[in-house]
Amino acid sequence: MAEGPFEDVTATAVADGAPSATHEHTSVRISLVADPDSPDDNIGYVTFAADAGADFAFFLSADVTFAIFDALDNEVPLEESADVVECAEVAKEHVAELEVGTYTLWFGPTTETLVSLVVEETGHGTDEDGH
């Protein structure tokens, strides 16, 4: 997360038109935007495209509220959320099982203005036969 490569993305305040944060083995630096309902807070939407059905780890540089939504706007349950103490640049790790498709990631509300995100596939999910 600290050494790059890096991609800079500015999040959107609404899910429609959110920019892509899909960059393999890359630290995506996401600039959050002012919350229209609470100008003291920052929020942001970006998208992530899963190219395989698998468990994915979402590493965040700050401990901010985080959620994942599928194409039907259903929240995807996080299988695990943990503090990361082994690395000063990473504050939280969230793990979710995703199918192939594009997801919307939500950050905030928070006072943070920038959150770095690294996404890594951690293991394979289930196939069509449930294996």
Q: What is the DSSP string of 16-78?
A: TTPPB---TT-EEEEEPEEETTEEEEEEEEEEEEESSSEEEEEEESS---EEEE-TTSPEEPP
- The mean per-residue pLDDT over the stretch 92-114 comes to 96
What band does 131 get if pLDDT is binned at 50, 70 and 90?
very low
Residue 59's contacts (CB-CB under 8 Å, 6 or more residues apart) are 1, 84, 90, 92, 93, 117, 118, 119, 120
Q: Is the pTM of this model over 0.95?
A: no
Rounded percentage of the chain residues whose pLDDT exceeds 70:
92
Structure tokens belonging to residue 109: 């509300």
- The mean per-residue pLDDT over the stretch 53-71 comes to 96
The fold for domain 6-124 equals Jelly Rolls (2.60.120)
Q: Output 129 or 18, whichever has higher pLDDT.
A: 18
Domain residue ranges in the chain: 6-124
